[in-house]
Structure 1
Amino acid sequence: MDWDKLRIFHAVAEAGSFTHAGDRLSLSQSAVSRQISALEEVLHVPLFHRHARGLILTEQGEVLHRTVKEVFSKLALTQAFLSESKEKAAGNITITTTTGFGLFWLAPRLEKFLEIYPNINVKLLLDDTDLDLGMREADVAIRLHPPIQPDLVQRHLANFPMSIYASQSYIDKHGKPETLEELSHHHIIGFSGFNLPLPNINWLAELLKKETSTFKECRLLANNISAITSAIASGAGIGSLPLYAATNKQLIQLNIPEISCPLVEAFFVYPYELRTSKRIAVFRDFLLNEINSFKDKNEP
């Protein structure tokens, strides 16, 4: 198996068609098809099922694709490591985090980071699932739970309180709850979705179900923290938000003495191979400075 054929196979597997792969590689569709046929002939196995709507990897193709993807990811990591300046932070950095943290906290601060480091380019990927850093789906991640993926360097960034909020318009209309029992009679907004952005996202509804007999279910559910924040701010109900998402001036924090609010743990994680990367180091330090400043301004 030569590298050129594997490179073309990788492009075809990712693109799902000879034509799209050819566009990426600046090759004709027929040239790509010939290279794949030649690779299949060398291996004596079919790698793709051909059909009218595109290509599907065979079982053997899936095995080869997993290996090739890992090899090319490691090569990309090595290339970035070898080409990076050790004196000056420069190059590209792909950052992944949850949709809520990315929208509310990180994205508004990237302009400042780019101004400080003009030789660094940033790609921001917002996803409530954990992208695979080992496979180079991103260079670094800000995770809102303790990392479980092995072989990652992790740095604890902060604990964000997961407090209870309402809007003044809601309080004016429905009153302000002072106890857990009073809160159980109010309109509670919760999360519903397959990909939990936070491990304790529905703690408030779960507490009310466990500790009271009057609370039955949330009046409003959404699968996105930004939507939940907007709904609370508009007066639709009461809900719990992490501190980084609760900067809307229309939100009022509710302090109910008998309720102890949980914390959201934030971690900065990256592959061990990037531990000496200058651009990773300056981004980590930037995050720490910004988070400390944010907490100083927003925590009592």
Structure 2
Amino acid sequence: MLNWDDVRIFLAVARDGRFVSAAKRLGIDHTTVARRISALEASVGSRLLDRSPRGVALTLEGQRLLGHAQRVEEEMLAAAEDVAHADERLAGPVRLATPAGLGTYVIAPQVRRFVENYPEIELSLIPESKAFSLAQREADILVGLHRPMHGNLVSQRLADYWLGLYASQDYLDRHPPIHAVSDLAAHDFVWSVSDLVDFSEIKVLDAIAKDSHIALRSSSVHVQHTAVASGLGIGLLHGFAATRDPRLVAVLPEQVSEMRTYWLTVHANYRSMPRVRAVIDFLHGLVSEGRPHLMP
């Protein structure tokens, strides 16, 4: 029989890649982590981790154990929630991971309402344009641009939204007029970092201004928005943020736009938890209120 405490420590090390950071996460000494990992390896009769000065890496046996350990963790958490929240109390932590634009411009300005309605829910908002793993508990609720096709996950369409070309009035006053897509070649652009964006955004740039001058590239949608509003160039911005900014003017709105979809995903075991359900309902409410700004 495996000791669940040892398996729990193994999960933390597998996720953090280092004994020291896993120990901080668990609130124990790193020597205890090393000792418990050794005990677990003795129990299974195999080496689970390869140690090096750069950290640790899972062996083949460790990768096999990881899948089982994650499923056990899910069941343990679900059991704890089922017992602890039988009275339907809305309390406890919820980690919400979203794309940067949605988290920054739509959710963050309204978080105060949520906190006032649910003061015992500890909401963590992570507005970053990177991949998060629900299986590894990096988030409880994930909003992304793609619908996951694998795993014990439940996904639903949260909202369609669009991106369009915008510039400041100051920039437009200082540069040649724009009447057609062909006119864009003579203009400066603020764009994403090429190797950090999906292929669809690269196709948009190629279609409208492949040979245009890129004045600034940034991986941050907020930096792009701010730079465009300052008059640096034209940018492909989130409509729900740009339409609310009086400094920005739409450029060729009838000819250039890019529609995308936000997908809301949660692990099947957690979707009925009261606190998770409260956050999901909050998100749907925000989308319903902001729909005129999400789609033109």
Question: TM exceeds 0.5?
Answer: yes
Can you list the C-alpha shifts for 1:46-100, whole angstroms capped at 9, x where unaligned? Answer: 3344455654444433433443244324422442344235544332211111122
Judged with a 3 Å threshold, the aligned counterparts in structure 2 of structure 1 residues 25 and 191 are, in CA distance, closer, same or farther, namely closer
Give distance in 1, aligned partners of 2:57 and 2:253.
56
1:255 aligned onto 2:242: no
Alignment of 1:102-141 (within 5 A): 102-141=103-142
Q: Is the 8 A contact 1:19 1:29 kept in 2?
A: yes
Give distance in 2, aligned partners of 1:141 and 1:52.
33
- Scaled by the length of structure 2, the TM-score of the pair is 0.83
Judged with a 3 Å threshold, the aligned counterparts in structure 2 of structure 1 residues 148 and 8 are, in CA distance, closer, same or farther, namely closer
Q: Which residue of 1 aligns with 2:231?
A: 235
Judged with a 3 Å threshold, the aligned counterparts in structure 2 of structure 1 residues 276 and 37 are, in CA distance, closer, same or farther, namely closer
Q: Is the 8 A contact 1:155 1:268 kept in 2?
A: yes
Q: Which residue of 1 aligns with 2:214?
A: 218
Alignment of 1:1-300 (within 5 A): 1-16=2-17, 18=19, 21-22=22-23, 25=26, 27-51=28-52, 55-85=56-86, 87-196=88-197, 200-208=200-208, 215-216=211-212, 218-246=214-242, 247-255=244-252, 257=254, 259-296=255-292
Q: Is the 8 A contact 1:164 1:238 kept in 2?
A: yes
Q: Larger deviation: 232-241 or 184-193? A: 184-193
Letter in 2 for 1:290: L
Give distance in 2, aligned partners of 1:245 and 1:143.
18
Give distance in 2, aligned partners of 1:74 and 1:156.
27
Give distance in 2, aligned partners of 1:298 and 1:36.
49
Letter in 2 for 1:100: G
Q: Is the 8 A contact 2:240 2:294 kept in 1?
A: no
Count of paired positions = 294
Can you list the C-alpha shifts for 1:192-228, whole angstroms capped at 9, x where unaligned? Answer: 24443x6633454221258xxxx45534322221121
Aligned-residue Cα RMSD (Å) equals: 3.0
1:273 is paired with a residue whose SS is coil
Q: Is the 8 A contact 1:205 1:218 kept in 2?
A: no
Q: Is the 8 A contact 2:161 2:294 kept in 1?
A: no
Q: How many angstroms does 1:131 deviate by?
A: 1.4
Can you list the C-alpha shifts for 1:8-59, whole angstroms capped at 9, x where unaligned? Answer: 3334444555555555555555544443333333333333444556544444
Give distance in 2, aligned partners of 1:103 and 1:66.
34
Give distance in 1, aligned partners of 2:161 and 2:66.
40
Q: Is the 8 A contact 1:48 1:57 kept in 2?
A: yes
Percent identical across equivalent pairs?
28
Gaps of 5+ in 2: none
2:237 is paired with a residue whose SS is strand
Q: How many angstroms does 1:253 deviate by?
A: 1.1
Q: Larger deviation: 267-276 or 24-33? A: 24-33
Give distance in 1, aligned partners of 2:270 and 2:41.
36
Q: Is the 8 A contact 1:204 1:239 kept in 2?
A: no
